Amino acid sequence: MNGKVRRVVTGHDASGKAVVLEDGGAPAVRTNPKRPGHISTDLWKTSESPVIVRREEADPTAGPKQIHPPPRGTVFRISEIAPESEAIRNMDPSQAKEVFKAMGNESASTFGQNQRHPFMHRTETIDYAVVLEGEIVMLLDEEDVHLKAGDVVIQRGTNHAWSNRSDKPAKMLYVLIDGEFDAELQAKFGRAGH
């Protein structure tokens, strides 16, 4: 796996006819030097809801990496997660925060509050996660859930981490949707990962 994903983007010509505007490798392939072996490819983003569909538009995946979607927006992403190393398991909370800072959201890290895994984090989002290839373990506050290719997770603003405990890379598809905690959850967590 190398982060290369063919992306076909459709739109409309001047007469309103459906056409392919772009067909090629998705350009927003990012790595994180603080997390070796992790490759993230943003396929598309939106920044409003409802989304205004235009005949053509500039590539919304350009710009700095962000783990979360823009306000009222979405992110469509495929990530490749390498088998977990000893170095990852031995990170301290400040090192974990640096990983999230490099992904554009230092405040999402919750490892200092819950010592289960360095990549524990929470964002005010609904995330649809699909295991495309391999196996992965989803860690919650007190549970581990083993997932394999074809399994789907609906992540609802919960504290979690993804841990690849196998000897092969895992490939995940995510759709992240901006959200907001209700009053009860805001009282417990404040504004998470914004």
In this predicted structure, what is the pLDDT of residue 112? 78
50 prior amide bond cis, ω within 30: yes
In this predicted structure, what is the pLDDT of residue 192? 66
In this predicted structure, what is the pLDDT of residue 154? 96
CA 137, CA 180: separation in Å to the nearest integer? 26
- In the chain, domain spans: 29-189
Mean pLDDT by 10 residues, the chain (194 residues): 86 91 93 86 92 88 85 94 90 88 84 86 94 97 96 94 96 96 88 63
CA 146 to chain centre: 19
- What CA–CA distances, in Å, run from 87 to 36, 66, 84? 10, 23, 8
Q: Which residues pair with 83 in a beta bridge?
A: none
How do beta strands 144-148 and 28-31 pair? unpaired
In this predicted structure, what is the pLDDT of residue 174? 97
CATH number of this structure's domain 29-189: 2.60.120.10
CA 81, CA 140: separation in Å to the nearest integer? 18
HSE (CB half, 13 Å, CA atoms) of 110?
A: 19
